[in-house]
């Protein structure tokens, strides 16, 4: 009897010591490459002692979280594109976070009004223009891309790509579905080839003379500059920041959300708050060639060198909810055919 009690007491003592260690970790599902987020998590662990475990999921994050349900090990998810962030909320796999730190660090237009997701960095959807064949000032607005003067001069990836759907959703937000349909039809008529490949493939096509301008996210410029095989593509184009005729430059996000199944909730929220800090955002933005969104933080010297712009003020949550309408328009005009 004494031995049993002694053993039970020893077991309880061991569990008491082990439990805090087990709690001092965060499990993250990320659609971003591990190398892009590792510098952040290493810095967080160094500062707080909380270990971050990352599972990279290129696709199927929502499906995986739904299948796992309450058994999911994930505490936090990180992904790109406003429609994907909104999608995880609509799937019911996230939970709201009430944090004065997050509210102070992340402007209202870059977070869910109900605290379900929070932006981390932004990227602009811009025009990559040939240095040789496009004059300064020739590209002005997104609406202008439907002008017949660009016939046979534009390259773009699939209209059903998340980034292009977000741009089309923004067009709906500004001009209604009829206006967006007219724009899509004009843009399609101006394409030099059928949409194919990723954003960098379009810039390569500009370099090769297939087209004169392409549409892509800003951070792809850094990716090309970092790749000796793509350096010539980068050097063949200028970044131009179009605006909507009645607004600013279209931006999209990378962001995060606390999962509904989070078992390390307190540590996960600490990580979220840390990621929203100026120091963390500068690390993240510099690593990825993106823009920090915390007021008062600055982009890297490289990114700043691409020029300045005023972000469009249409709420991103409004744009996210128009994804279905934009996908329908892309299919109606047979954009990719």
CATH number of the domain enclosing 145: 3.40.190.10
Six token digits for residue 4: 């049993």
User: Both tokens of residue 247?
Assistant: 């607004």
Please check whether residue 337 lies inside any domain of the structure: no
Whether the pLDDT of residue 12 is over 60: the answer is no
Q: Which of 3-17, 70-84, 94-108, 163-177 has the lowest mean pLDDT?
A: 3-17
Q: Do 92 and 218 sit in the same domain of this protein?
A: no
The answer to whether residues 203 and 262 belong to one domain is no
Same domain, yes or no: 49 and 84: yes
14 is a domain residue: yes
Looking at the fold, whether 220 and 183 belong to one and the same domain comes out as yes
- At residue 156 the predicted structure's pLDDT band, cuts being 50, 70 and 90, is very high
Burial track 26-55 (b if 16+ CB lie within 10 A, e otherwise): bbbbbbbeeebbeebbeebbeeeebbbebe
In DSSP terms, 56 is beta-bridged to: 30
Q: Is the pLDDT of residue 21 over 80?
A: no
Q: How confident is the model at residue 22 (pLDDT cuts 50, 70, 90)?
A: very low
Query: How many residues in total does the chain contain?
Result: 337
With beta carbons less than 8 A apart as the criterion, state whether 273 and 336 touch: no
Q: Looking at residues 291-309, what average pLDDT do you find?
A: 93
Which tens digits make up the pLDDT trace of 162-181? 999 999 999 999 999 999 99
Cα–Cα distance between 54 and 205 in angstroms, integer? 35
pLDDT at 6: 45
Query: Given a cut of 60, is residue 17 above it in pLDDT?
Result: no
Say if residue 128 is in the same domain as residue 95.
no
Find the domain containing 313 and state its range: 123-250+309-332
For residue 52, the SS3 value is: strand
Considering the domain architecture, whether residues 269 and 322 belong to the same structural domain is answered as no
Between the ranges 15-24, 212-221, 312-321, where is the mean pLDDT highest?
212-221
Report the pLDDT value the prediction gives residue 58, as an integer from 0 to 100. 83
pLDDT higher than threshold 60 for residue 9: no
Structural domains counted in the chain: 2
Residue with the bigger pLDDT between 35 and 205: it is 205
pLDDT at residue 287 is higher than 90: no
Measuring CA to CA, which residue among 161, 81, 76 is closest to residue 119? 81
Residue 4 has pLDDT above 50, yes or no: no
For residue 165, being part of any structural domain is answered with: yes
304, part of any domain: no
pLDDT of 194 > 70? The answer is yes
Chain centroid to CA 207: how far?
26
Q: What is the pLDDT of residue 152?
A: 98
Count of C-beta atoms within a 10 Å radius of residue 112: 22
Q: Assess if residue 302 is contained within a domain.
A: no
Q: Are residues 217 and 131 in the same domain?
A: yes
| 24 and 155 belong to one structural domain | no
Instruction: Give the SS3 label for residue 214.
Output: strand
Check whether residue 178 and residue 318 sit in a common domain.
Answer: yes
Indicate whether this model's pTM tops 0.85. yes
Q: pLDDT tens digits for 217-261?
A: 999 999 999 999 999 999 999 999 999 999 999 999 999 999 999
pLDDT interval class at 35 (50, 70, 90): confident
Rounded to an integer, the average pLDDT of 133-151 is: 97
């Amino acid at each position: 009897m004494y031995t049993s009690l002694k053993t039970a007491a020893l077991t309880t003592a061991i569990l008491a010591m082990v439990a805090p260690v087990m709690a001092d970790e965060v499990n993250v599902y990320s659609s971003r490459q591990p190398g892009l987020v590792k510098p952040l998590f290493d810095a967080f662990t160094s500062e707080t002692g909380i270990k971050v475990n990352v599972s990279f999921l290129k696709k199927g994050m929502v499906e995986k979280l739904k299948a796992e349900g309450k058994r999911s090990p994930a505490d936090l998810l990180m992904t790109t594109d406003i429609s994907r962030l909104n999608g995880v909320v609509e799937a019911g796999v996230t939970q709201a976070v009430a944090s004065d730190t997050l509210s102070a660090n992340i402007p209202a237009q870059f977070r869910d009004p109900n605290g379900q997701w929070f932006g981390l960095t932004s990227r602009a959807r811009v025009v990559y223009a040939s240095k040789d064949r496009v004059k300064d000032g020739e590209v002005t607005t997104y609406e202008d891309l439907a002008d017949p003067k660009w016939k046979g001069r534009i390259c773009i990836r699939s209209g059903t790509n998340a980034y292009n759907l977000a741009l089309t959703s923004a067009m709906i937000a500004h001009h209604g579905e009829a206006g967006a349909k007219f724009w899509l039809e004009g843009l399609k008529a101006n394409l030099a080839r059928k949409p194919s490949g990723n954003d960098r493939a379009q810039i390569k096509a500009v370099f090769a003379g297939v087209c004169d301008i392409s549409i892509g996210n800003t951070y792809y410029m850094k990716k090309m500059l970092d790749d000796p095989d793509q350096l010539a593509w980068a050097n063949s184009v200028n970044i131009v920041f179009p605006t909507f005729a009645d607004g600013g430059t279209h931006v999209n996000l990378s962001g995060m959300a606390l999962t509904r199944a989070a078992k390390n909730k307190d540590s996960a929220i600490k990580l979220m708050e840390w990621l929203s800090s100026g120091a963390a955002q500068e690390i993240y933005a510099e690593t990825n060639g993106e823009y920090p969104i915390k007021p008062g933080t600055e982009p890297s010297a490289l990114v700043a060198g691409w020029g300045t712009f005023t972000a469009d003020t249409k709420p991103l949550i409004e744009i996210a909810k128009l994804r279905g309408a934009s996908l329908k328009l892309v299919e109606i005009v047979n954009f990719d055919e």
